[in-house]
Amino acid sequence: MSKTLLFIIVFVVLLVFYILLSLRRMKNIPLVPSNEKIKILDDRNFKHQIKNGKVLVDFWAAWCAPCRAMAPVLNELADTLDGTAVIGKLDVDKNRETAAAFKIRGIPTMILFKNGREVERFVGVKSKDFLLKKIREA
């Protein structure tokens, strides 16, 4: 067996081990309760809640580890905004109609609305500073 092939095998084994370890850690991320400033959205109230001002909507699910990782970031962001924008959360498992209407394919997906219109869309885990900057730019 050549040294190159051996190196590739070792690299792949280590990579698989790292991925499995990372997935195990992500499954252990606790479900953090939402800040009282975050609006819980559903299929019935969605259009009404996004129609005025800036609203950042987090499309999420309880089983999604990256979504659970975003919860503390969104809680902090809600405290920082002081009325300049609103944070909303929509559980895609419980509100499939709205999730389908916005073609949500991966979560977490956050959509920034201004007066009911989509301004920007973010997929994946984002930092508080990144989201704050995007909200201020809108």
Distant-in-sequence, close-in-space partners of 54: CB < 8 Å, separation ≥ 6: 84, 85, 86, 112, 113, 114, 119, 135, 138
Q: Of 16 and 126, which is predicted with more confidence?
A: 126
Model pLDDT for residues 100-126, shown as the tens digit of each residue: 999 999 999 999 999 999 999 999 999
The overall average pLDDT reported for the chain is 89
- State the catalytic residue, choosing from 38, 67, 74, 104: 67
When pLDDT is cut at 50, 70 and 90, the band that residue 1 belongs to is low
Q: How far apart are CA 58 and CA 90, in angstroms?
A: 6
In this structure, what token pair is assigned to residue 96?
């499939």
Task: Assess whether pLDDT exceeds 90 at residue 73.
Answer: yes
Q: What is the 3-state secondary structure (H, E, C) of the chain?
A: CCHHHHHHHHHHHHHHHHHHHHHHHHHCCCCCCCCCCCEEECCCCHHHHHCCCEEEEEEECCCCHHHHHHHHHHHHHHHHHCCCCEEEEEECCCCHHHHHHCCCCCCCEEEEEECCEEEEEEECCCCHHHHHHHHHHC
Query: What Rg value do the Cα atoms of the chain yield, rounded?
Result: 19
Exposure string (b/e) for 105-132, b if CB count within 10 Å is 16 or more?
eebbbbbbbbeeeebeebeeebebeebb
- Residues 37-64, mean pLDDT to the nearest whole number: 95
Tell me whether residue 67 is one of the annotated catalytic residues: yes
When pLDDT is cut at 50, 70 and 90, the band that residue 46 belongs to is very high
Tell me whether residue 136 is one of the annotated catalytic residues: no
- State the catalytic residue, choosing from 64, 71, 87, 131: 64
Beta bridge partners of 112: 56, 120
When pLDDT is cut at 50, 70 and 90, the band that residue 94 belongs to is very high
